[in-house]
Amino acid sequence: MPSFSNSRRVRHSAPDMFDLVADVENYPEFVPLCQALRVKRRTKSDEGVEILVADMTVAYKLIRETFTSRVTLDRPRLTIHVEYLDGPFSRLDNRWEFIPQGDAACDVKFFISYEFRSRTLGMLMGAMFDAAFRRFADAFEKRADEVYRTVG
């Protein structure tokens, strides 16, 4: 089963990075392969946890697939967990963790594992997904620099 993990220090606070990744509606503006994202449902708890059910459409050349996932935004623990619900995968698990390193930096840990339901789709999309996941960290850090106006 393909998987990818990355850990890197960024020049933004953990809460700022959490907010940036939690802002899923803006993913089509900067996330590789994300053509569209629609939040279908939001549920908030008293403990600072928010759960979204969202449809994400990924596209590359003539291939276009939409999948549904449950996104748990756990602000008190500065973690985000994405669980697969429906679409072209047989399995998808994605986790983010934001570890404070002072007031103006944090370590961002990203992990994803997935498996396509169709072997053919896996062959067509697999290498492209791997390349996109390797660019994710850069895309989010660049977006944070734009949103939070970091220079340097």
Write the DSSP assignment of 36-88 as a string of letters.
EEEEEEEEE-TTSEEEEEEEEEEEETTEEEEEEEEEEEETTTTEEEEEEEESS
pLDDT tens digits, one per residue of 53-72? 999 998 888 888 899 999 99
- The pLDDT of residue 3 is 85
What are the sequence ranges of the domains in the chain? 3-147
Does an H or E element contain 20, and which?
A: helix 14-22
Tokens 């404070």 belong to 100
Tokens of 87: 């679409």
Residue 133 has pLDDT above 80, yes or no: no
Q: The whole model's pTM is what?
A: 0.90
On whether the 3-147 domain is CATH 3.40.50.2000, my answer is no
- How do 34-44 and 63-74 pair as beta strands? unpaired
What sign has the CA pseudo-torsion 99, 101, 106, 112? negative
pLDDT category at 151 given cuts 50, 70, 90 is low
Mean pLDDT score of the chain: 90
pLDDT tens digits, one per residue of 97-123? 999 999 899 999 999 998 888 888 777
The distance from CA 4 to its chain's CA centroid, rounded to whole angstroms, is 12
Tokens of 103: 């007031």
49 forms beta bridges with 74
What sign has the CA pseudo-torsion 80, 2, 39, 140? positive
SS3 for 40?
strand
Select from 32, 6, 8, 12 the least CA-distant residue to 152.
12
